[in-house]
Amino acid sequence: MSTNTIPTRTIAIISRHHLVRLGLQKIFESCETRRFVVQQYQHITPDLRLPEDHPDVFILDMETERDSVGSLRWIRESAPMSKVLLLSGFEDRDRMHEAFNCGVDGVLLKIQPPEVVLALIDALYPAVSHHIHRAQDVVVTTDLQQALTLKTLAQREYTTWPDGLTARERDIIKLLRQGLSNKDIAHTLSISDSTVRYHLTNIFDKVGVPNRQKLLVHAQTIHSVPD
């Protein structure tokens, strides 16, 4: 089977952060099992002209685009067939809900690893993704074997939550997964900010992660919250 059966996807990255644009571009350019063409934009302006062939996917950095709702409307009007992903942290949930009302196809969290980024792009085109995987079976068997090995290692490393978590620590993890800040967690549980930090330090030690971002990746990988 020829590698020409694997389609090329055009990704437009819109962010004022150079490192964000560069990091996403590296993820797409380093992918050997799919072809991506990356376009970079610092921000959207009313006079912005897109290439004649509109991008397949827009990734809009919600934390740097001052008028994310207006930008979403512009994308929908200028490229109605394109998919739109919001690139976001957890800081501004109200704006995210407002953006969803304008119509987006998914949310990409900044803490997510490259594998999740690529999987999310694949999920936007399920029929094509199936075709790509069939092409991979013939063309890049070595890459698939490496991916399966990495997946197996990840599953061994992140399989469950440790039994030693206290009830309070489990509550904090659940709230953390909802996107709450330390201050919000403290308010919800009626405890101090310093107590939240103390519990988080204990959680990091028990789970075996260095910070809250890695803790969220752990929770995402095993697809559960502690009971």
Q: Give residue-wise pLDDT tens across range 175-189.
A: 887 778 889 999 999
Handedness of CA 130, 136, 137, 141 (dihedral sign): negative
Domains of the chain, each with CATH number or no CATH: 3-150 (3.40.50.2300), 167-222 (1.10.10.10)
List, in sequence order, every residue forming a beta bridge with 85; answer none if it has no partner.
59, 106
Average pLDDT over residues 49-71: 84
pLDDT at position 192: 93
List, in sequence order, every residue forming a beta bridge with 88; answer none if it has no partner.
109
Handedness of CA 107, 112, 118, 119 (dihedral sign): negative
Calculate the alpha carbon distances from 44 to 13, 48, 56, 62, 95 in Å. Answer: 11, 7, 17, 12, 17
Q: Give residue-wise pLDDT tens across range 12-29.
A: 999 988 888 888 998 888
Q: How many CA atoms lie within 13 A of 171 on its CB side?
A: 14
Q: How many CA atoms lie within 13 A of 204 on its CB side?
A: 12
Average pLDDT over residues 47-73: 84
User: Confidence class of residue 216 from pLDDT cuts 50, 70 and 90?
Assistant: confident
pLDDT at 156 over 80: no
**What's the chain's average pLDDT?**
75
* Torsion (CA) 157, 158, 164, 165 in degrees, nearest 10: 150
Nearest Cα neighbor of 60 from 80, 40, 79 is 40
User: Confidence class of residue 35 from pLDDT cuts 50, 70 and 90?
Assistant: confident
